[in-house]
Amino acid sequence: MLLEQERMQVVEYGRRMSSSGLSKGTSGNISVFHRGMELMAITASGVDYFEASAEDIVVMKLNGEIVEGSKKPSSEYDLHANIYRSKEDANSVVHTHSMYATTFACLREPIVATHYLIAAANTSIIKVVPYAMYGSTKLVEEVNKVETNGNALLLANHGLITWSNSLANAFNIAENVEWVAEVLWRTKCVGQPTVLSNHEIEETIQSFKGYGQDADASTSGY
C-alpha cells in the first residue's frame, strides 16, 4: 500500500480532530505530502473519521490524479495541493471548523496576539482569506492573494487552515490557534483585550525554536 505510514497518520489525526472538537461530523480534512514521491495522502470525502481505515485515505498527485484509493478525495484537495506547491516547508495540512476560529472567520476579523501562544503559528496575526465556496478554484486563488509568513489562515465564513513540516506540528498549530481565538473572544466579552506587539511575538517565536528536549524538533507544547 502506497504511503502506508502517512495514511495511518491521517486516520489517527482525523480521529483526534473530531474527538477534540476541532471539527464536527465529517467536516474538516487532513493531508500529508511525501515530497520525494510527490504524492499526497488525504482524507476521503464524507467518511466518518472513527470508521475510516488507512485504505480509505486517498493517495493522489498534486494535479488531482488519484494514484491509489477507491474513495472520492476531500473536496478541498486542491487547497491542500496549493499549500504544498507554494510552501516548500509544508508537508502536512490540517483544515478545521473549530468553534472560536470559525467565529472570527465568520466575523471576517483576524485573530490577534492576545496570548503568546499565537507564536505557535509563527506569526502575530492570523489573517482572513476573502470568502469563496469550499472546494473551488476561486478559494485557492483567494488564499494565494493573502501574504503571510506564518502557518495559519482563516477562511472567511468557513474555518481555519494550518500547515507545517509534520502532521503533529500542523495539528498542534490548529489546537493553539483555536485556544487563542477562544481567549480573544472571552476577553472581548469582558472589555478591550491587550494585544502583544510584533516584537514580543517574534521573541516568543525565536524562543520556541529551542523549547523542549530536542531543540531541532518543532514544539508540541509550551
Between helix 99-107 and helix 167-190 the angle, nearest 10°, is: 70
Q: Which of 6, 76, 175, 178 is catalytic?
A: 76
109 is catalytic: no
Distance CA 152, CA 90 (A): 11
What lies within 8 Å, CB to CB, of 206 at 6+ separation is none
For Cα atoms 214, 216, 222, give the angle at the middle one, nearest 5 degrees.
60
Query: CA torsion 201→205→206→208, rounded to 10°?
Result: 130
The residues that are catalytic are 76
